[in-house]
Structure 1
Amino acid sequence: MPLSEEELRLLEQMERALSAEDPKFASALRGTALRRAQRRHAVIAGFVLAGGVALLMTGVISRMWIVGVVGFLVMLASTSVLLTALRGAAAVEEDDGSHTPRSSFFDRATERWKQRRRDNDL
């Protein structure tokens, strides 16, 4: 049963009040649901990927190239969904504030280079 306009308005007011009162708690609640959904998508995509591998191998063994092509396409699609889910989960972790964002190799190398230049200038 869908919510009425008045109930939706009240719910939005409560969400805004919660975010204003305790933004860290509100962020944690949003992140938990998103992480759970991303994890579920990744697991399902992993199973579909395994099914695609089985189809591909079945096509190779039975010499039915169409089954192999379908298996390959299933693998390709599930890998795309899997990578999207994993990237989404990583983005949710960085946005939720409980984890410090990890610096990349390039960022660390650039910082070391700047430090060496500062040391040499002294």
Structure 2
Amino acid sequence: MTNRREVTVPLSEREQRLLEQMEEALSADDPKFASHMVADPARARARRRLALGAVLLVVGVATLVAGILIRVVPVGALGFAVMVGAAAYAVSPTGPGGPSLGSVQPDGGVQRLNRRRRRRSAGRGNGPQGGFMQRVEQRWERRRGGSGW
């Protein structure tokens, strides 16, 4: 087994231009494929969380089985707790702000809301269309007025 060192050589300006042209052509030809090829740190974090959660789940199952085999209830309970915690960790949102919320645009894209805007729009009538209760009241008034939806 040989031990190879990776050597990185910077691209020349011509090579960089060619690479950029190839990227633009790929994006124009198949934008969906091009978007999948871009490195997404959130996706990498999600994979790591899932892998760590799966490993911890296996450790929890092993601890639970060991607790059952040696007939020690606290060891089995610990294994169960590790299993539940591992599953919760694996499927929990990866970002620090929790799940990303957004709204679907007419063109099919998603406009994400940042945390500050979410908090502000969660208040009473601070959002662009008013609060939840105001929208419900407006709908009720439209129905009573006979104008329908």
What range is the shorter-chain TM-score in?
0.3 to 0.5
- Richer in helix (by share): 1
Greater radius of gyration (CA): 2
- Richer in strand (by share): 2
Q: TM-score, normalising length from structure 2?
A: 0.37
Q: Which has the higher contact order (CA 8 A, sep 6+)?
A: 1
